[in-house]
Amino acid sequence: MRIIAGSAGRLTIKVPSAVARPTTDFVRQAMFSILGERVENARVLDLFAGSGAIGLEALSRGAASCVFVDEHRQAASVITQNLMKSKLAGGRVVRAEVGAYLRRDLAAYDLIFADPPYCKTPGDPDLVAKLLAGDLLPPRLAAQGWFIAEISASQASPAAAGWGLRDRREYGSSAILLYAREVSA
């Protein structure tokens, strides 16, 4: 796995064994092509960060800052190592459960990424749907911000009051969803 473009482009990064399904280079390339200039100077939140590949890509492409959140000790350690190796400024690693972090965080972010474990069997929690339906995510998203989630391509796009799905793109077994807050008239 590597950072694709920007100041740290082509740098190989580590992936913790706790991450069962890191976002592939191809999917990250597509995601950042869609986002384009929105990444420059953005405040980024990378939830379920795993290796930190998404947030590292954002920092490499000019994001002002990125908070990486993952509850696994190994993931937090690997993200810290990847940040040091990349020499990218503006990154902060937080080892916490996503809901607990969102409850105590007071910042607003221009881009919030979420790549939770996929729903593979009936009964698996749909963590993207839970984030959209809850009250923790909206205060963290800046007025013109986007929430970008990765889910299984076989899964329907979650819908929730107050959110508009702006785009869905499928790449192999993955789907990228781009949401924005709905503005009340």
Q: Is the pLDDT of residue 185 over 60?
A: no
Q: Dmax of the chain from CA atoms?
A: 47
Q: What is the pLDDT of residues 78-137, one digit of tens each?
A: 999 999 999 999 999 999 999 999 999 999 999 999 999 876 667 778 999 999 999 999
Report pLDDT for 42: 98
- When mean pLDDT is compared across 43-47, 135-139, 154-158, 181-185, the lowest value belongs to 181-185
- Token duo for residue 37: 């200039």
What are the angstrom distances between the C-alpha of 109 and each of 52, 138, 149, 178? Answer: 17, 10, 15, 15
All domains of the chain in start order, with CATH = 25-181 (3.40.50.150)
H/E segment holding residue 84: helix 73-86
DSSP secondary structure code for residue 121 in this structure = S
DSSP secondary structure code for residue 83 in this structure = H
Query: Which value, in Å, is the radius of gyration of the alpha carbons in the chain?
Result: 15
CA distance 125 to 58: 27
Q: Where are the alpha helices (DSSP H) in 87-138?
A: 98-104, 127-133
Q: Is there a contact between 89 and 65 (Cβ–Cβ < 8 Å)?
A: no
Q: Is the pLDDT of residue 150 over 70?
A: yes
148 Cβ contact partners less than 8 Å away, ≥ 6 residues apart: 31, 35, 111, 112, 113, 114, 176, 177, 178, 179
Nearest to 54 by CA among 38, 70, 32, 74: 32
Q: What is the pLDDT of residues 23-81, one digit of tens each?
A: 888 899 999 999 999 999 999 999 999 999 999 999 999 999 999 999 999 999 999 99
150: left (phi over 0), alpha (psi -120 to 50) or beta: beta
